[in-house]
């Protein structure tokens, strides 16, 4: 039996219709592979999606326009009925209903290889369409820090209330300068649209590199 899913196009994204009615949604985003060492961002979003029983919201309609599949490799798997399927890497999002005044959108970003301007524009258009109030990037990076000390978390914020939250939590402002991800443009463009931004980056010991670094997850 073939099931038809209605979608609406926003930039390069296709979102499932009808769009959910979200209450002052906050976006929690991760970025693969630039800021996801040890899979901290992926593990965090996966845990939150399970906790909030997240549902599919949307994805890039034509991922091949943005991603090089010789670098992000598709994978083959068998479904529950034993049929061979192909999973194509993509940027996608889910959503969950919150309990304290706002809902959540979980955004799984891939670093684009092509047409980055349109990629960023599409993400920002989706944030605007869904009336997002805050965009928060969660990630991890390797650093010259010891495993015997509490893990250091740095970040940044726009918006007075958001910046105050970071200060209360004792999260240090990052003074990094150098190469970065093109998705940093999201955090630069969002404030002009009335969207507060926040980043939380945990620093992991360079000499202990794990595929999944559970100690790097938020407490």
Q: Give 128: exposed, middle or buried? Use CB within 10 Å, 0-12, 13-18, 19+.
A: middle
Confidence (pTM): 0.88
CB burial class (10 A; 0-12, 13-18, 19+) of residue 32? middle
| pLDDT at res. 153 | 85
Per-residue pLDDT of the chain (219 residues; tens, 9 = 90+): 555 568 899 999 999 989 999 999 999 999 998 899 889 999 999 999 999 999 999 999 999 999 999 999 999 999 988 999 999 999 999 999 987 778 999 999 999 999 999 999 999 999 999 999 999 999 998 888 888 888 888 888 887 777 787 777 778 777 778 888 999 999 999 999 999 999 998 888 887 766 666 666 765
Tell me if residue 113 falls in helix, strand or coil: coil
Spell out the domains of the chain, with CATH numbers in brackets.
Answer: 7-216 (3.40.50.10900)
- Please tell me the chain's helix, strand, coil percentages from 3-state DSSP, rounded to the nearest 5: 25, 30, 45
Shortest CA distance to 10 belongs to which of 101, 122, 112, 116?
122
Please tell me the predicted confidence (pLDDT) of residue 213. Answer: 64
pLDDT of residue 2: 52
pLDDT of residue 46: 95
How far, in Å, CA of 66 to CA of 84, rounded?
25
Which run of H or E residues covers position 181? Answer: none
Write down the pLDDT at residue 212.
65
Amino acid 104: pLDDT: 96
């Amino acid at each position: 039996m073939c099931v038809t899913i209605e979608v609406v196009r926003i930039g390069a994204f296709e979102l499932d219709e009808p769009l959910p009615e979200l209450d002052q949604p906050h976006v929690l985003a991760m970025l693969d592979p630039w800021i996801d060492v040890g899979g901290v961002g992926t593990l965090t979003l996966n845990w939150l999606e399970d906790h909030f029983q997240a549902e599919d919201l949307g994805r890039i309609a034509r991922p091949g326009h943005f991603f090089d599949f010789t670098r992000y490799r598709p994978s083959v798997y068998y479904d529950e009925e034993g049929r061979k399927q192909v999973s194509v890497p993509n940027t996608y999002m889910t959503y969950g209903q919150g309990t304290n005044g706002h809902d959540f959108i979980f955004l799984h970003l891939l670093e684009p290889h092509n047409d980055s301007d349109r990629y960023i524009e599409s993400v920002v258009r989706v944030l605007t369409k869904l009336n997002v109030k805050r965009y928060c990037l969660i990630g991890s990076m390797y650093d010259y820090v010891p495993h015997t000390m509490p893990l250091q978390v740095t970040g940044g914020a726009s918006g007075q209330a958001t910046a105050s939250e970071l200060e209360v939590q004792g999260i240090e402002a990052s003074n990094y300068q150098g190469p970065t991800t093109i998705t940093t443009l999201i955090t630069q463009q969002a404030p002009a649209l009335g969207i507060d931004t926040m980043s939380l980056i945990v620093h992991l010991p360079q000499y202990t590199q794990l595929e999944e670094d559970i100690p790097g997850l938020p407490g």
